[in-house]
Structure 1
Amino acid sequence: MAELLKVENLSAGYGEAVVLHGIGFALGEGETLALLGRNGTGKTTLINTLAGATRQHAGSIALGGVALHKLASHERAAAGIGWVPQERNIFKSLTVQENLTAVERPGKWNPQRVYEMFPRLAERKGNLGTQLSGGEQQMLAIGRALVVNPKLLLLDEPLEGLAPIIVSELLKAISRITREEGLAAIIVEQHPQAILAISHQAIVLDRGTVVHADSARALREAPELLDRLLGVAR
């Protein structure tokens, strides 16, 4: 499998504060990486750094051979980064349809395919972002990242605060996007077993460094280790 993402000796943070220290990992085309760790260990900072929303102090990030660390955030999107931050950042004053068409780029993902993936959005395509539930806003945020037609999808806690039925629906969609459609992804999540079940690799952060890296399956099948690393085995 060809290498898609290569991160080497990455240090980054906010202003002069360094949160990440010497991060390094690689991700192949079509692979999904579960990014795990207790709260405050640097997971969101790593996602934000890949997207270009932090200050990078050292190291390099390459996506398909392109040096991302030299690019601004909007240039990283053009290079193939699809980002769904915790805040979702949908355009709340625009309709669902307008949210999707405003950022659409040529490729296999278009608004119609998003509506097929998320029928709830098809029913609400004329609704403003402010008129959507939290789950629907998350679906829209994911859909908006998809219509950019990225090479790598970054999802920061996509299941946070959502009802179990919506969590189940989103997990199925994310599994389809990654497993069936073959889109590479990095997923930050507080439900480790759910995400490990649909991931290929896993890394665990603690105090801004990688403290464990393995296949997702191996970590999922080692609940005692998972408990020791995260404080939660389920």
Structure 2
Amino acid sequence: MSELLALDNVTAGYGESVVLEGISFAMQEGDSLALLGRNGVGKTSLLVTLMGLTRMHGGKIRWQGGDIARVPTYLRAHAGLGWVPQERFMFPSLTVEEHLTVVARPGEWDVKKIYEIFPRLQERRNNMGNQLSGGEQQMLAIARALMVNPKLLLLDEPMEGLAPIIVQELMRVIRQLVVDKGMSVIVVEQHARLALSITKRAIVLDRGQIVHESDSESLMQDKDKLDRLVAVAH
């Protein structure tokens, strides 16, 4: 497999404020990564840095071999970075189906395939974005990112605030994407064991730096280390 994404000593933040310092890691095509850590350590900042929404103070971001550190956000999306932010960003004036079709790009994912994995969205296809429950909005946010036909899917706290039955449904879909379809994914998730159960590798951040990197299975099995590194519900 060829290299998909690589960060080389990335330092970034907001204005003059540095949030991430010296971040280096690489992902191959088909790789999946759990991005863990306590609140406020830079997990979301790392995702938005990949999307070009922070200020780079140093380092390089390579995407399929090319440096994208100065590439605008919309071109990163066109190049295959699919982002599902915490905020979901539903458009109240668009129906579910319009949310999907307005961003559609050629590739494997189309409306028919989206409805196959998210039948609830098909049932609600004529509802407006603000008429959906929180769980349905999260499904739509993931579905919308898939319609861009990304090469790498960035999921920021996809289970946050959702009922257990919805969490189970979303976990089924994400596991299907990662395990069955071999999609490359980075998952930021406070519930560490959920993220570790659907990924191959794990990185733990603390104060904007990588303090642990391993395969997901070994970290999940080492309860003491997981508690020490993450110290949140898992």
TM-score, normalising length: structure 1: 0.98
Aligned residues: 234
Which residue in 1 is equivalent to 2:2? 2
Write the distance in 2 (CA, Å) between the matches of 1:90 and 1:130. 7
Q: CA contact under 8 A between 1:83 and 1:154: conserved in structure 2? A: yes
Residues in 1 aligned to 2:88 and 2:53: alpha-carbon distance in whole angstroms: 14
| Aligned residue number for residue 31 of structure 2 | 31
Matching of residues 95-174 of structure 1 within 5 Å: 95-174=95-174
Residues 23-68 of structure 1 show CA distances to partners (whole Å, capped at 9, x for unaligned) of: 0001111111000000000000000100111111111111211322
2:212 corresponds in structure 1 to: 212
- The secondary structure found in structure 2 opposite 1:69 is coil
Cα distance in 2 for partners of 1:227, 1:166 equals 26
Query: What SS class does the counterpart of residue 35 from structure 1 fall into?
Result: strand
- Structure 2: which amino acid aligns with 1:160? E
Structure 1: which 4+ aligned runs deviate by more than 2 Å? none
Helix, strand or coil: the match of 1:70?
coil
Please tell me whether residue 72 in structure 1 is matched to residue 72 in structure 2. Answer: yes
Matching residue of 2:47: 47
Q: Give the corresponding residue for 2:13.
A: 13
Q: Deviations over 1:49-92 (max 9, x none)?
A: 00111111111111211322121000100111000001011323
One-letter code aligned to 1:59: G
Name 2:60's counterpart in structure 1: 60
Q: Per-residue displacement from partner, 1:157-187 (whole Å, max 9, x unpaired)?
A: 0000000000000001001111111110100
CA contact 1:88–1:137 (8 Å) conserved in 2: yes
* Cα distance per residue 1:94-153 (max 9 Å; x no partner): 000100000000000011111111000000000000100000000000000001001100
Instruction: Indicate yes or no: 2:230 matched with 1:230.
Output: yes
The AA in structure 2 aligned to 1:109 is W
- Checking the alignment, whether the CA contact within 8 Å between 2:100 and 2:144 is kept in structure 1 is yes
In structure 2, the residue matched to 1:81 is: 81
Q: CA deviation at 1:233?
A: 7.0
SS of alignment partner, residue 158 of structure 1: coil
TM-aligned CA deviation for residue 232 of structure 1:
3.7
CA contact (8 A) 1:2 1:29 kept: yes
CA contact (8 A) 2:3 2:65 kept: no
What's the TM-score once normalised by structure 2's chain length? 0.98
Q: State whether residues 224 and 233 of structure 1, in contact with CA within 8 Å, keep that contact through their aligned partners in structure 2.
A: no
Which structure 2 segments of 5+ residues have no match? Answer: none
Q: Which amino acid aligns with 1:93?
A: S
Q: Distance in 2 between matches of 1:10 and 1:127?
A: 42
Matched residue, 1:198? 198
Residue matched to 2:189: 189
Unpaired segments ≥5 residues, structure 1:
none
- Percent same amino acid at aligned positions? 58
